Structure 1
Amino acid sequence: MPVLPELEAFLELAEFGRLTGKSRPMHEQTPQQARLDFEAASGFLDVPLTTITCENFTIPARDGHSLAARLYRNGQAVDGLQPVMLYFHGGGYVVGSLDSHDALCRRLAAQGGFALLTVDYRLAPEWKFPTPVHDACDAGNWLVREGAAHGLDANRTALAGDSVGATLATVLSLIAVRQPEDLRLNPKAQLLVYPVTDATTHRASHRDFAEGYLLETPTLDWFYAHYARTPADLADWRCSPLLAEDLSGLSPALVYLAGHDPLHDEGLAYAERLRAAGNDMTLLEQPGMTHDFLRMAGLLGEVAGIHDEAARWVRSKI
C-alpha cells in the first residue's frame, strides 16, 4: 500500500527542505542541533489539547538525579485511585522530551479511563546505556511507592511508549517478570508502538525504507552509536529485547506497526515471538503510514481513531 496522500505531501515538504538547504538529516547534525530541530518539528504534527489537566513534578533516580515528570488527567471525577498509563517518549535515546510528546500524551489522556504519567529519562550521548533503562525502572518503582498519594493505582498500570519509548516499555515488562527485585511494578498491559527490538541487525525494512520515510536507517545507526558504550551493549536484551532468551509470562501486549518504517520487520519479529511464547498479543498495522504516526493527529484524520483504538485496548486490560 502506498503512503497516505496527506502524509506523502508532508514527506515531500520535508524533502524540499533538504534540497533547498533549509534542513539536514538528523544523523548529519550534532545531538544538540538534532534536539532543537526535533522539538521544532513536533509543533507541526499536532496542537496540544487545552482541556487536559497537567501536573509537573520530579521523580528521584537511584543516583540522586531528579527526573522531570508530568501527570495528565482528563478532568473527569474519579472514585478512588485511578488506573495509569506509564508512557515513555521516543527519540532514539538522543532526542525527544516531555514537550515533544505533550500533544500526544494529552490526546491519550483525553480518551479517559486512565491517567497518564510520563517521565523525562536521561538522553545520550551525555547519558549512555543503561541509564534510560534505570530511569524507567525508577519511575515504575516511584509509581508503586508514591502513586497512591497522587491518586494513581499502581496495581492497574499499563506500560506504553513509541519507538525507543516502546522499547523501554518492553524491557520493563521483561524486568517485572525476570528481575522483580529490580522493579516492584507488575504491569497489566504493554502498548508498544513501532518499537526498536533489535539494534544489532538490518532487516529488509531497513533497506526498503532507508531514506525518505521520516525515520531513516542512517539515523537509527547514529542513535545507537550515541547510546551504546560498546557494540556489546546493542546485543544486550535491555537494548534489543528481541534477543532475550525467554519472552514467556509477560503482560498482554498490543504491538502497533507502520508499513513504511525501517523498524517494521523487527517489530513484527518481536510480535511473532511474543505470540509463540504463549503471551496475549494483539498485532495492528497501519500499512500506509510511516514511523511517528502516533504523534500526527494534527496532520492525519486517521490518527484520532488510532488513539481511540489503543486507549480502548488499554482500558480493557487495566
Structure 2
Amino acid sequence: MAVNPVILRAIQRAYRHGHADLPTKSLEQVRHYYYQHPIEQLSAHVYEEHAIKPKVSLRIYRPSMSKSTGKCKPVIFYLRASAYVLGSIEDAGYFCHTLANSLDVNVISIEPRLSPEQKFPEPFLDCIASIEYIYNHHPQLNLDIQNATIWGESSGANIAAALCQYLASEQVNFISKQILFYPMLDYSNLNEYHSKRLYAEGFLMDKRLSDWFLSQYVRTVDDYEDIRVSPLLADNFAKLPKTLLILAQYDPMRDEAAQYIERLRDAKVSVHGLCLPGMIHGFLWYAPRVPLARYAIEYAADYIKNC
C-alpha cells in the first residue's frame, strides 16, 4: 500500500524545508526545527507533579469524570517519543489527560532528562527512579499498581522495553502489559534488517538522522550493544509482560520489532503485533488528520481493557 496521502504531503513538505539536512545541524538548530510544530497542550493544569530528584519529575493524570471517585484505579506508565533529545514533559499532557479519561485509569507521564545534556545510562536511571517512586508511594497516592501497563512510543518504546527487561531481571512483576508503538529495539551492528535498508531515507526517520539522535544519547559505540539500549539483544525474554507492538509499513525499525515479536513467542510470552499499511515511523503525530492513526490508539486502549 502506498504511503497515506496526508502523511505523504507532510513528508514532501518536510524535505522541502530542510529535513534531510538535520544531521548536519547543531543541537539547537535541530530542536528549533521541531519546535516549529508545537504539540497541543492541556487547557488546564489537571495533573499532580512529583519531584523524583533534581530536574526529574513525573506527572499523574487522573480521570476527571470518573463515576467511582476516590476508588484506587489502575496505572499506565507513559513514555513519550522524544528521540532522546526533543521536547519536554509538557508535550505528553494532552494525550495523557485524554487517555486517563477514556480508560478511567491513572496515567503517569515519566520524563527522563534529555540528551546530550544527560548521556546514557542517566535517562534510563531516571525512569527506574520514577517507577520506584510510584512503587514505594502508591498507597499514599491512591494508585492501584497491580497489573500496571507501560506504554511507549518510538524512543519511549525503546526505554519501555528496556525497563520491562530490567524489572523482570529484578523479579519485580507488577507490570502486566507493555504497549510499544514503532519501537527502536536494536541499535547494534550485529543484525542487518531489510527494512533499515529499504527505508533508509525518504520517510523522515532517515538513517543519518536516526544515527545522529543515537549519538546524542550514548557515550560510546559500546553502548549500542547494551541491552538497556538494544533490548532485542537480551538473552531471556521469558518473564516479560503481555505485549502489543504496533508497527508501521514504512518504518526502518519495522523488522527489528517483528523479530522482537518472534523472540517473545519463542519465550511463550503472550504477544500481538499489528503492522499498519501506509504508515511511517511516528505516525501518531498525524492522528488528528489520519483515521488509521486514531484507530491504532483505540486498538491499544482496547488491548489494555480486554487482555
TM-score by length of 2: 0.91
CA distance in 2, matches of 1:145, 1:66: 20
Deviations 1:198-240 (A, max 9, x none): 0113522122112221221111111221211111111011100
* Amino acid in the other structure paired with 1:280: S
Q: Does 1:57 align with 2:49?
A: yes
CA distance in 2, matches of 1:95, 1:288: 25
Q: Match for residue 31 of structure 2?
A: 35
Q: Does 1:206 align with 2:196?
A: yes
CA distance in 2, matches of 1:88, 1:171: 12
- CA 1:305–1:126 in structure 2 vs 1: closer, same or farther (change >3 Å)? same
Q: Match for residue 70 of structure 1?
A: 59
* Amino acid in the other structure paired with 1:173: C
Q: Aligned-pair distance for 1:244?
A: 0.4
Mind listing any 5+ residue stretches in structure 1 that lack a counterpart? none
CA distance in 2, matches of 1:209, 1:13: 18
SS in 2 for 1:188: strand
Deviations 1:55-80 (A, max 9, x none): 1413324xxx2413222233122352
* Amino acid in the other structure paired with 1:54: V
Q: Aligned-pair distance for 1:118?
A: 0.7
CA distance in 2, matches of 1:214, 1:102: 25
CA distance in 1, matches of 2:38, 2:251: 18
Q: Is the 8 A contact 1:89 1:96 kept in 2?
A: no
Deviations 1:117-159 (A, max 9, x none): 1122012111111112111111111111123333321223101
Q: Is the 8 A contact 1:58 1:66 kept in 2?
A: no
- CA 1:25–1:161 in structure 2 vs 1: closer, same or farther (change >3 Å)? farther
Deviations 1:164-188 (A, max 9, x none): 11111111111111124xxx56201
- CA 1:217–1:102 in structure 2 vs 1: closer, same or farther (change >3 Å)? farther
Q: Match for residue 264 of structure 1?
A: 254
Q: Match for residue 283 of structure 1?
A: 273
CA distance in 2, matches of 1:301, 1:123: 31
Match for 2:154 among 157, 160, 163? 163
Q: Match for residue 8 of structure 2?
A: 8
- CA 1:25–1:314 in structure 2 vs 1: closer, same or farther (change >3 Å)? farther
Matches within 5 A, 1:204-243: 204-243=194-233
Aligned length: 303
Q: Aligned-pair distance for 1:24?
A: 5.9
TM-score by length of 1: 0.88
| Greater alpha carbon shift after TM alignment, 283-292 vs 113-122 | 113-122
